[in-house]
Amino acid sequence: MAALSQGGQTDLGLAREPETAIAEKLFAGPLSLCDDWCALERPRLGLRIRFRFSPAATPFLECGSVTAVGPDARAQTVLRYPGAVHHGLRLAGPTGPWSRVLAPGQSFSWPMIVEIESI
């Protein structure tokens, strides 16, 4: 639950209808070692997408929701995923012991399991 600037509260766990044209981007963490999953649920469809990950490698959780209405289309995107930083992508340098500085052409990866479940 989050406080609204105009008063009242809103449940950030619910995706808004596209007509609202609201965008949210939230970060949680650092996570404890037992906080090793997050999920996106669509109760009306009876589906859950669960992400399992290592909080030692990705100690933050990013949650985002974007709804938009354009002249020809409506779009809705909802995100829940682990991350290595608590405030979005930073190109200026490391933000903690979990961050990496990569040379051109270098890569780094960590495990993540995605499960699709019936609820």
- By C-alpha distance, which of 57, 60, 13, 38 is closest to 114? 38
Q: What is the residue extent of each domain of the chain?
A: 13-88+111-118
- Answering whether pTM is above 0.85, one says no
pLDDT (tens place) for every residue of the chain, 119 residues total: 777 778 888 776 666 666 666 667 777 788 888 989 888 888 888 999 898 988 888 888 877 766 666 666 666 666 666 776 665 555 565 566 666 778 899 988 878 899 999 99
- Of 74, 84, 80, the C-alpha closest to 13 is 80
